Amino acid sequence: MNAPGRPKGEYRSAQHEGTPMSAPPIDRTLLAGVLAGSPLPAGYRFELLRRDDIGALVAHLDRWYPDVGVGAASGFLRRGFYDREVLLADGPDAPDRNAIVVIVRCGERIAGMIACEREPEALALYGRLAVVAPEHRGAGLGLHAIAAIERIGRALGMGLVYGMATLKIPHTQRAFERLGWRLIGIVPGYDREFVGSGAVRRIYEAVYAKVLAACHELQHPDRQHMTPRTLQLFELLFATTDNEVDRVAEPLG
Q: What is the pLDDT of residues 212-250, one digit of tens each?
A: 999 999 999 999 999 999 999 999 999 875 444 455 556
Report the pLDDT averaged over residues 134-154: 97
Average pLDDT, stretch 65-76? 92
Whether residue 247 is contained in a domain is answered as no
Answer yes or no: is 121 within a domain.
yes
Across the chain, mean pLDDT equals 88
Q: Taking a C-beta distance cutoff of 8 angstroms, is the pair 157, 217 a contact?
A: no
46 in any annotated domain = yes
Asked if residue 245 belongs to a domain, the reply is no
- pLDDT at position 12: 39
Q: Is residue 195 part of a domain?
A: yes
The whole-number average pLDDT for the span 86-108 is: 94
Residue 121 belongs to domain with CATH number: 3.40.630.30
Query: Please, are residues 83 and 99 in contact by the beta-carbon 8 Å criterion?
Result: no
Give the pLDDT confidence score for residue 81 in this predicted structure.
96
**Residues 111-136 pLDDT 10s:** 999 999 999 999 999 999 999 999 99
pLDDT of the residue at 9: 38
Q: What is the DSSP letter of 220?
A: P
Residue 251: per-residue pLDDT: 67
Q: Is residue 35 within 8 Å of residue 48, measured between CB atoms?
A: yes
Quote the number of domains for the chain. Answer: 1
Could you tell me the sign of the dihedral formed by the alpha carbons of 129, 78, 75, 31, in that order?
Answer: positive
CA 46 to chain centre: 15
Confidence band of 2 (pLDDT split at 50, 70, 90): very low
What pLDDT shows up at residue 211? 97
Residue 21 β-bridge partners: 11
Q: Residue 7 domain-assigned?
A: no
Distance (Å, whole) CA 176 – CA 167 = 13
User: Looking at the domain assignment, is residue 8 inside a domain?
Assistant: no
Sequence-distant (6+) residues with CB within 8 A of 142 are 130, 132, 171, 172, 175
Q: How far apart are CA 216 and CA 224, in angstroms?
A: 21
pLDDT, mean of residues 154-173: 95
What integer pLDDT is reported at residue 18 of this predicted model?
45
Q: Specify if 2 maps to a domain.
A: no
What is the per-residue pLDDT across 165-202, written as a single tens digit (0 to 9) for each?
999 989 999 999 999 999 999 999 999 998 877 899 99
Is residue 20 predicted with pLDDT exceeding 60?
Answer: no
**So what's the pLDDT on residue 250?**
63
* 130: containing domain: 13-240
pLDDT tops 90 at residue 92: no
Residue 117 CB neighbours (<10 A): 17
What would the mean pLDDT of 76-99 be, rounded to a whole number? 93
pLDDT for 15 beyond 50: no
Phi and psi angles of residue 238, each rounded to the nearest 5 degrees, phi first = -120, 35
